[in-house]
Amino acid sequence: MDRVFIEGLEVDTVIGAYDWERDIRQCLRLDLRFAWDNRPAAADDDLSLTLDYATVTARIQAFAEQARFELVETFAERLAAALMSEFGIRWMRLKVTKPGAIAAARGGVGVEIERGCL
């Protein structure tokens, strides 16, 4: 199975369990991988047969704009469910990083989930 990926996508959202976090928007960095059969699109050079990463990215940004979760885990689960349902994705891996959440963790902290089957 082929993979479509989006790496290092930064979105601003309300995320966090502390009171001060409920009043600000914070950046999350997302890395996504999707199973997708690229052969039909490649055979006819047809964008309509792809998993259009521009459309997927726009959906992710809209999701983040509306999200108001305490947990990064909840953000990841709900986003994965929405993308799989709306785009017919059978398998995906999503890594959500919250930069700056732990000062000593220079690269950030977060979760990585894998949903569906190949």
User: Mind telling me the catalytic residues?
Assistant: 98
Contact 117, 108 (CB under 8 A): no
What is the C-alpha to C-alpha distance for residues 115 and 84, in angstroms, rounded to an integer?
Answer: 9
Place 44 in a pLDDT band, splitting at 50, 70 and 90. Answer: very high
3-class state of residue 92 by DSSP: strand
pTM: 0.95
Over residues 9-29, the pLDDT tens digits come to 999 999 999 999 999 999 999
Rounded-to-integer distance, Cα 43 and Cα 57, Å: 24
The residue written with tokens 């790496």 in the block is 7
- Mean pLDDT for 61-78 is 98
Domains in the chain and their CATH numbers? 3-116 (3.30.1130.10)
- 57 pLDDT band, cuts 50/70/90, is very high
| pLDDT of res. 63 | 98
User: Distance between CA 62 and CA 11 in Å, rounded?
Assistant: 9
Where residue 103 falls among pLDDT bands split at 50, 70, 90? Answer: confident
